[in-house]
Amino acid sequence: MHLFSRETIQIKSFSFSQSLRGIVYFLLTIPLVFLTAEIVARSPIGILLPAPSVNADNFLFDAKIYQLENQLRRDGSLDCLFLGSSVANSDIDPAVVEQVYREKTGETIHCFNLGLPAMTIETASALAEAAIARFHPKVIFYAILPRDVHDAIANVEYLGEIDWVKYNRGVPSLNGWLVNHSYAYRYFMTWRYWLALPNRAKMEAEASPLAAKGYQPAPGIREPYIENLTMTPERLHEAWDDPRQAQAVEYFLTLQQKGVKIVFLEGPSYHESDASDAETWRVYETEYLPTLIQILDENQIPFWRTQEIAIAIPKEHWFDWLHLNSDGAAAFSQWLGEMMAENRGLFK
């Protein structure tokens, strides 16, 4: 007795053939999708899409790295890279700096802001070393605050251990190679993040508004005004208590051995008009600053003071006591562009 008729066998055979073709088509589609992702990401269209992730678990870092990669493809070189915490992130507009420099010198330079909120100098050392290998900046400007060497509140030290950074610091891995060379893989990582709805809101909050060249402006005035937890006499007294704090600065300075010039900027901070913070600034000048200047002098690193421009910026142009808003950032970036024009030899 036949269990299956000839017609049934033909139907099953046809169905199997259809399924096999479907699998083959799907497998052939994957390389096309990956190729399309690579082409789009490397084209001007790509900048309109969410940034492909380097698997850093930091959407602002993802966005800045992608912006910098696109800028470097467009400009061909990177003259200056701004590093630091949120002060660098929100206070320095490279577009203004470049414009002022061009007006003063008649020459064009290309700059980028890789500042990240909560970054300390230890994390900055790892990121800077990776950026030197990957993007080859001529000059690194580091905007330093006391909390960068004596942090006890917030940091992003995990960024120093991500595969993108480790690979560019000479630690090979498959994931490190992929996040440095494959946009298709990075878009796959972005898609994985997007599967979780909270991540979509987090991406929007962290990475916007992000202007060109890595500048993230702070709008208006912060409400409520945050308490000053880092620039206090007590914290400044302790700034150099641990030898590792000075060692962290000295290690950052060793990066000049990799063929990059380094300039330290004094991170601007607000001065109370009624001098109610006079004791803080006295301790800053007498106990914190001398050690920093000594370290920089011993390593022949320029240190650009910013107190004069900080005092000249009115309170309505500060987002809070530590960060400038977009109006204040324009004034500070104007000053910085002029300083760079006066020191144009840095870029030769």
Provide the 8-state DSSP code for 45.
G
Domain membership of residue 42 (yes or no) is no
- Domain count across the chain: 1
Domain membership of residue 91 (yes or no) is yes
How high is the pLDDT of residue 28?
46
* CATH of residue 230: 3.40.50.1110
How high is the pLDDT of residue 143?
98
Q: Please choose, from the candidates 340, 330, 341, the residue with its C-alpha nearest in 3D space to the C-alpha of residue 92.
A: 330
Structure token digits, residue 69: 């990669």
How high is the pLDDT of residue 26?
44
What is the number of other CB atoms lying within 10 angstroms of the CB of residue 232?
17
- Measured CA to CA, the distance from residue 199 to residue 196 in angstroms comes to 6
303 φ/ψ angles, rounded to the nearest 5 degrees: -130, 115
Domain membership of residue 303 (yes or no) is yes
57 φ/ψ angles, rounded to the nearest 5 degrees: 55, 35
How high is the pLDDT of residue 62?
96
266-294 per-position pLDDT tens digit:
999 999 989 999 999 999 999 999 999 99
Domain membership of residue 187 (yes or no) is no
Say if residue 224 is preceded by a cis peptide, omega within 30 of 0. yes
- Enter the pTM of the model: 0.88
261 - beta bridge partners?
A: 139
> What is the maximal distance between C-alpha atoms in the chain?
105
How high is the pLDDT of residue 51?
86
Run of H or E including 180: helix 174-181
- Measured CA to CA, the distance from residue 314 to residue 226 in angstroms comes to 18
Domain membership of residue 238 (yes or no) is yes
Domain membership of residue 288 (yes or no) is yes
- Measured CA to CA, the distance from residue 267 to residue 141 in angstroms comes to 11
Say if residue 137 is preceded by a cis peptide, omega within 30 of 0. no
| CA distances in angstroms from 199 to 160, 178, 196, 207, listed in the order given | 22, 22, 6, 12
Range of the domain at 102: 78-156+208-347
| CA distances in angstroms from 117 to 78, 114, 305, 317, listed in the order given | 22, 10, 21, 20
Domain membership of residue 44 (yes or no) is no
Positions of the chain with pLDDT under 50:
1-2, 4, 12, 14, 16, 25-28
Domain membership of residue 3 (yes or no) is no
